[in-house]
Amino acid sequence: MQHYLDFERPIAELESKIKELRQLSDGDGVNIVEEITRLQAKLDRLLQQTYGKLTPWQKTQVARHAQRPHTSHYIASLIEDFVPLAGDRLYGEDQAIIGGLGRFRGRSVVVIGHEKGADTEERVRHNFGMARPEGYRKAVRLMEMADRFGLPVITLVDTSGAYPGIGAEERGQAEAIARSIETCLTIGVPVICVVIGEGGSGGAIAIAVGDRVLMLEHAVYSVISPEGCASILWRSGDQAPEAAEALKLTAGDLAQLRVIDEVIVEPMGGAHRDPAETMRRVGDAVARGLQALAGTAPAALRTARREKFMEMGRKGLG
Amino acid sequence: MSWLTDLALPKIRDLVRKTETPDNLWDKCPSCEQMIFHRDLEAAMYVCTHCGFHMRISPKMRFKALFDEGEYTTIELPRVAADPLRFRDRKRYSERLKEAQAKSGEKDAMIVAHGTIEGQGAVVAIFNFEFMGGSMGMAVGEAIVAAAQLARLQERPLIIFSASGGARMQEGILSLMQMARTTAAITELREARLPFLSVLTNPTTGGVTASFAMLGDVQIAEPGAMIGFAGARVIEETIREKLPEGFQRAEYLLDHGMLDMVVARSDLRHRIALVMRHLMDARPGEGDTLPQPANDPQASAKQAR
């Protein structure tokens, strides 16, 4: 079942009409084929029009789309011989962040990413991609292991934020996030980060400090959710669309602010319309990033990574 | 009720006001609500003389209380692009910023100074919570980077007093990036083997806690300080439960292993000096106040063997 967003209603109508006609066209009927072709062309135009000028709030919805490919899909499609690893060796296993060893285009890597889950059962198991301290501490453990064995790190960012709960606070949510950022900045292997869906605040940046930070076209990355921002600054969650606008959270905005290095263009109509193609494009972009960093000495990688973040906001702003 | 409000209440209010704070000689403790003679409160560094509640104090008062003879040198902080997103909610961010600057007489929410504490050099950065809730945007980020650089240059410890609501929303993603930038600054200090003392004061939350403020070699907090990642209201809304008594207070964090110590304001200066003295003791060229390892008879005895 295709899930449609509010602003996709005209698209939904056309797609269902085409589907109906396709079912009818089993028999004869050149007319029906022609009609389908005509409607398909119309649909393509409509998708182009709609997705060519999504508002920041619409992008936020696309970024959260239930059928958008998640970390587990990327691992299944891009990583061979994947060996999932679990646990922080301190307290528990947090499935909101998954990770492990695997082969990416011929070389062994460590992959770490937030996982939101695809259906209700999975969402509960992965806590909707909202990690607790154990998730970040597992990420730290995997990054340190990557460093020891000289394996590049690929992180996939997709979270509405770190989990706000009593246990999470009790066990040092803030410290866990801080330590994860610190580890990103100290390891001497290439780190490529891709914001594939939602980049929600501290919970996102905890694993998003890399040599290259890439972002899908309709992904969002922000210091606070539009809803949260609206409820604080506008005193009403209804103003979320305005807040989304003001926060400059789209890939285009972030590229302009030089916070990300590259925007990965999504297939027409968003990643959820063609997950396979989306993942291929992400794979290509990650491979290019790794290629560019290949052979760089650990110390040089570290220095350049820190410099990159140190330079942020110093140049190119009005 | 309106005629009553108009006629009677103003008079009552005036009466109360006069008895409560005659010529501003008295202050009221926000915790126990007892009255404290203003001069006593100042002498106690704004700690309630009745209940021990630690009230908020300005960075200037802290610097004065911390540095020897109350003498210190503030440093000029790097200029940053003001309002890079041209952010506007119900009000323009540039206006909010100007108002905060006019009210405080400061450029942003952090002041950095250096001087000596019980004879030992230190670089100290202090958040001003009164400036937009001590929120961390580019200016605060640059201030921390500058403070860490100065500490490395002077080969002195860095002490940061945090009091912040977290990242400054109005600077969007650029404020989030300060978590990475400040962490990088602390990482470099760590690699230079210089101590970083993080002092958490009321309140320290959000992106500040989740970056440099939790990365101190030694973590100190003032009594009762609210310290956490997520705000209490957000947690309550998420889990639909009342929060336990004392949740996210300094003592709670101490119990859960997130702090080394909770120190009363009156002891803070001496405790900081002591920690610095120990951590800097083995450093070549330091140790003026404690014997050098080479002069230590036990150490030389070991060498002789």
Q: pLDDT tens digit string along A76-86? A: 999 999 999 99
Task: Please write down the HEC assignment for all residues of B189-247.
Answer: HHHCCCCEEEEEEEEECHHHHCCHHHCCCEEEECCCCEECCCCHHHHHHHHCCCCCCCC
In this structure, the answer to whether residues A111 and A148 fall within a common structural domain is: yes
Give strand ranges (E) for chain A: 79-84, 97-104, 107-114, 153-159, 191-200, 212-216, 220-222, 262-264
Residue A184 has pLDDT above 80, yes or no: yes
Residue B86 has pLDDT above 80, yes or no: yes
CB contact under 8 A, B229 and A209: no
CB contact under 8 A, A313 and B241: no
DSSP3 helix / strand / coil % (chain A, rounded to 5) = 55, 15, 30
Task: Write the CATH number of the domain with boundaries B57-282.
Answer: 3.90.226.10
B89, B172, B239 ranked by CB distance to A223: nearest: B172
Number of domains making up chain A: 2
Residue B120 has pLDDT above 60, yes or no: yes
Q: Is residue A1 part of a domain?
A: no
Residue A276 has pLDDT above 50, yes or no: yes
Residues B235-263: pLDDT tens digits?
Answer: 988 888 889 999 999 999 999 999 999 99
Q: How far apart are CA A3 and CA A10, in angstroms?
A: 13
Q: Which residues of A touch B212 (CB under 8 A)?
A: 178
| Number of other CB atoms surrounding residue B219 within 10 Å | 23
CB contact under 8 A, A313 and B81: yes
Of A190, A193, A171, A196, nearest in space to A259 by CA: A193
Sign of the CA dihedral with B14 first, then B16, B22, and B27 last: negative
Half-sphere exposure of A76 (CA within 13 A, CB side): 8
Residues B28-82: pLDDT tens digits?
Answer: 999 999 999 999 999 999 999 999 999 999 999 999 999 999 999 999 999 999 8
In this structure, the answer to whether residues A181 and A42 fall within a common structural domain is: no
Of A72, A173, A188, nearest in space to A122 by CA: A72
For chain B, the domains span 7-55, 57-282
Note the pLDDT of residue B291. Answer: 45
Structural domain boundaries enclosing A99 = 60-311
Strand bridging mode B158-164 / B196-204? parallel
Does residue A278 contact residue A90 with C-beta atoms inside 8 Å?
no
Q: Which residues of B touch A317 (CB under 8 A)?
A: 81, 84, 174
Nearest residue of A to residue B230 by CA position?
A164
Does residue B114 contact residue B154 with C-beta atoms inside 8 Å?
yes
CA A286 to chain centre: 13
In this structure, the answer to whether residues A132 and A45 fall within a common structural domain is: no
Q: How far apart are CA A137 and CA A101, in angstroms?
A: 17
In this structure, the answer to whether residues A31 and A84 fall within a common structural domain is: no
Average pLDDT over residues A19-32: 75
Note the pLDDT of residue A257. Answer: 96
Residue A70 has pLDDT above 60, yes or no: yes
Q: Is residue A158 part of a domain?
A: yes
Burial of B304 (0-12, 13-18, 19+ CB in 10 A): exposed
A166, A178, A222 ranked by CB distance to B210: nearest: A178
Confidence bin at A26 (pLDDT 50/70/90): low
Q: Which residues of A touch B254 (CB under 8 A)?
A: none
* pLDDT averaged over every residue in chain B: 89
Question: B145 and chain A: CB distance < 8 Å anywhere?
Answer: yes
Report the alpha-carbon angle B63-B51-B54, nearest 5. 25
In this structure, the answer to whether residues A247 and A117 fall within a common structural domain is: yes
Q: How far apart are CA A15 and CA B267, in angstroms?
A: 71
Confidence bin at B299 (pLDDT 50/70/90): very low
Residue A133 has pLDDT above 90, yes or no: yes
Average pLDDT over residues A81-102: 98
Residue B302 has pLDDT above 50, yes or no: no
Asked if the interface predicted TM-score (ipTM) of this complex is over 0.90, the answer is yes
Confidence bin at A138 (pLDDT 50/70/90): very high
Note the pLDDT of residue A32. Answer: 81
Does residue A100 contact residue A80 with C-beta atoms inside 8 Å?
no
User: Greater confidence, A2 or A238?
Assistant: A238
In this structure, the answer to whether residues A200 and A307 fall within a common structural domain is: yes
In this structure, the answer to whether residues A45 and A65 fall within a common structural domain is: no
A174, A247, A257 ranked by CB distance to B210: nearest: A174
Q: Which residues of A touch B170 (CB under 8 A)?
A: 233
